[in-house]
């Protein structure tokens, strides 16, 4: 049985991972769009993304579009695997009930 991942289990990060795991493998989501979808603040989302990036679960790309800085977030294969394992662990806990 997979163990719960403490990095993913934090509620905001769980929300972030659930959302970006819906993207196709080569897709990236805009920071502002993700912030609006999740109802988080800039600082809150930024700090959780930094934690997830540090763990190698997501990739953060910064680029300039029409001279404006834009941040795009994508999930890595290890991030998808970790999230799947975390969901599996949650489901296993329910089955043990």
Partner 1 sequence: MILCITEFSVVNITPEEAAQALREIEASRVAMRSAIQAHRGHLHLWLWGSLWMSTSVLNWDDNPAHTTASSLLMVGGGLTSALIGILQGRQVRAPVNPRFVAVCITILLFGFVAWPVVLGPPHGYRAAFGLGTLVWMQLYIVAGLWFDTYLLWLGIAATAIILAGLVFLPGLFWACTLLAGAVLVGTGFHVRNSWK
Which residues from 17-46 bind partner 1, rule CB under 8 A? 18-24, 26-30, 33, 37-38
Point out which residues pair with 59 in neighbouring strands.
74
Backbone φ and ψ of 64, nearest 5°: -105, 125
DSSP character at residue 3: P
Smallest gap from residue 18 Cβ to partner 1 (A): 4
By the rule CB under 8 A, 70 interacts with partner 1: yes
Smallest gap from residue 45 Cβ to partner 1 (A): 13
Smallest gap from residue 36 Cβ to partner 1 (A): 9
Which whole-number Å values give the CA distances from 42 to 9, 83, 94, in the listed order? 20, 23, 34
- Provide the 10 A C-beta neighbour count for residue 39: 9
Binding site for partner 1 (CB under 8 A): 3-7, 9-11, 14-15, 18-24, 26-30, 33, 37-38, 65, 70, 72, 87, 90-91, 93-94, 96-97
């Amino acid at each position: 049985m997979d163990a719960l991942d403490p990095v993913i289990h934090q509620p905001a990060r769980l929300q972030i991972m659930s959302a970006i795991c819906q993207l196709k493998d080569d897709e990236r989501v805009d920071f502002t769009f993700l912030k609006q979808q999740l109802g988080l603040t800039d600082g809150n989302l930024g700090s959780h993304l930094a934690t997830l990036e540090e763990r190698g679960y997501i990739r953060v790309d910064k680029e300039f579009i029409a001279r404006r800085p834009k941040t795009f977030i994508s999930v890595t294969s290890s991030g998808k695997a970790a999230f799947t394992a975390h969901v599996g662990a949650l489901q296993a806990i329910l089955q043990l009930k």
